[in-house]
Structure 1
């Protein structure tokens, strides 16, 4: 579906395919009644949820466990003025099942920062939206 000549709305499958190709995104959540954004590395799990790995005592875990959050990832080129952005909205929660934690320990994300008492956070992909911005540059 074209919104205009430069923007194309992406369907869910396209959004998930693009998310699986990038290592970084941003969690958007509420901290002390104010909006907060935190860059994180992540993986897309087999059920299409976004999975993060962080310290069990982090502010992020306390702020998002059981809350509805947004997760955004993108890829843009300033040179071509093109790229895409995907937003996943859904409930976040700590993975507390031992078998699931063990599975994610093998296949899930690895934190880029040292983590003590690590936990996996899962963001359900209840709503997935995205858009692609195509170059409108003309040559000549």
Structure 2
């Protein structure tokens, strides 16, 4: 179901933001879009509170993979062997700051450590740490739920007369 967002006057420059609507996208399109960017945010629990960290990622099949800085906050997400993993969410988007058009995708699932040495080596080639920290581990998020939407412009003929 599409949700309409009406046009309005924007911030200090007082430019007009076009009328737009939220258009849901399916799982395949959401994962495809996620694969077109390298930056997102991982949402997890730290000390029983929600926490968010920006990280770079790669989409490998249907999994989202991020590297972990040794000793960083995300290292707490490494589960014990044989456990199903830790529930996390991962979000990425591309939304134009002027027009407010673009897309957003959220993946929710279990995060488990990548243990295969060949996979770790491959991800090390694909994902480079932002800072000079040692990042010898990686985390694979296996999605249970993938949701997303596009913010698309409402065609001029669809706008109501006398609208904002």
Partner Cα distance (1:115, 1:24) in 2: 18
Q: How does 1:1-140 map to 2 (within 5 A)?
A: 2-5=1-4, 6-45=21-60, 47-63=61-77, 65=79, 66-106=85-125, 108-116=126-134, 118-136=136-154
**Higher RCO (CA-CA < 8 Å; seq separation 6+):** 1
Aligned equivalents of 1:85, 1:26: Cα separation in 2: 12
- The unaligned stretches of length 5 or more in structure 1 are none
Following the alignment from structure 2 to structure 1, what is the Cα–Cα distance between the partners of residues 135 and 59? Answer: 22
Which structure has the larger Rg? 2
User: Contact between 1:26 and 1:40, CA under 8 Å: does it hold in 2?
Assistant: yes
1:88 offset after TM fit, Å?
Answer: 0.5
How far apart, in 1, do the equivalents of 2:105 and 2:68 lie? 22
Q: Number of residues paired by the alignment?
A: 136
2:2–2:22 CA contact under 8 A, matched in 1 = yes
2:75 partner SS: helix
- Which ranges of 4 or more aligned residues in structure 1 deviate by more than 4 Å? none
Using the size of structure 2 for normalisation, the TM-score is 0.74
Residues 43 and 90, structure 2, Cα contact 8 Å, conserved in 1: yes
- Please, what TM-score do these two structures have when normalized by structure 1? 0.86
